Structure 1
């Protein structure tokens, strides 16, 4: 694949990421922007609070499918893990910072789940396992899920040894974007733990 082809594919992946399922569900349901109601997040949990379980499932599935589709297509090109992770980063960035929505998007957890599953299902299973265990500790999905996401670069480094430094650095960048999107949640958990 040429550098122009790779760049075009990443740009398309960014655009795909910017198609937020929750935003469009709200628009189609009653014309409301989910970023202005409830928690202000156009993700699955807020969609579920506002519109019910079906909206939660459709939003989660739609956003996860974006990550899975982008990474799955990248892997089918046999361009290696660097390209797959670069595409993964692009679709996550598109979801969190969508150009068509004034760069105010979601927090990226659903699209991360879909992308991670298609990138390496063994890494995905390990993260889900850790998050599940920590869910029993924290009694809350967000901190447990973020800890699972935080393991992504470590697990990628372990499972893709010999692939060079770019692979774990891209994995770290993806994790950093998810962490930045959840900075308010992280601050809240930190404050609660210290009080």
Structure 2
């Protein structure tokens, strides 16, 4: 089983390294999200740069990057803690993509995808939390930070055996948002509906 776990960690990282934002922007002729807008290759920045449909495609693909390897590992009988490392590997692939010069996104959608195997009730709570924060304050990053911070608590009530791996994943995503946290404190963070005016 150890060899299987190591194999799936590698698969998850390689799968996560497929930068959906870069690929979709190239297909739609949108500015490179690594150098335009917030310079974050994620769905929110793609929305600002190219609109709703490309952003939805990026979001869907980024979620799948987390869901597929974790679901496969889950059905292979891998235990919760190793599953957590597999989920983290998928997120690290997104954050530091092998195929795109290790310049990736924040890992929120991919982290969400890794949590889907735990249950749709957890997914619903995370989406609701993110949506409420964005609705009232307009900051996607703040919504993500609050949602992932609450994810271990939600998990404790739904499937407590996954609390530790979810907490590990949450910590990774929060650390990745250190720049956003600084901008939020300084009131310099862009709101989700702010469009970037390209020259």
State the TM-score, normalized to the length of structure 1: 0.85
Distance (Å, rounded) in 1 between the aligned partners of 2:51 and 2:136: 27
- 2:182 counterpart of 1:183: no
Note the C-alpha offset of 1:84.
Answer: 2.5
Whether contact under 8 Å (1:74, 1:83) holds in the other structure is: no
Alignment match of 1:169 (pick from 164, 170, 180): 164
Distance (Å, rounded) in 2 between the aligned partners of 1:60 and 1:160: 25
Distance (Å, rounded) in 2 between the aligned partners of 1:86 and 1:70: 11
- SS of 2:187 mapped into structure 1: helix
Displacement over 4 Å in runs of 4+: none
Q: 1:29 to 1:133 in 2, by over 3 A?
A: closer
Unaligned runs of 5+ in 1: none
| Aligned counterpart, 1:81 | 80
Note the C-alpha offset of 1:91.
Answer: 0.5
Whether contact under 8 Å (1:23, 1:42) holds in the other structure is: yes
Which is helix-richer, 1 or 2?
1
Which deviates more, 36-45 or 96-105? 96-105
Distance (Å, rounded) in 2 between the aligned partners of 1:132 and 1:123: 14
Cα shift readout 1:141-194 (whole Å, capped 9, x = no counterpart): 321232011111223334344x4xxx433322211221122211111112239x
Q: 1:177 to 1:133 in 2, by over 3 A?
A: same
Unaligned runs of 5+ in 2: 189-199
Whether contact under 8 Å (2:83, 2:165) holds in the other structure is: no
Instruction: Kindly report the root-mean-square deviation, in angstroms, between the aligned alpha carbons of the 2 structures.
Output: 2.2
Distance (Å, rounded) in 2 between the aligned partners of 1:129 and 1:54: 21
Cα shift readout 1:90-110 (whole Å, capped 9, x = no counterpart): 101110111232321011111
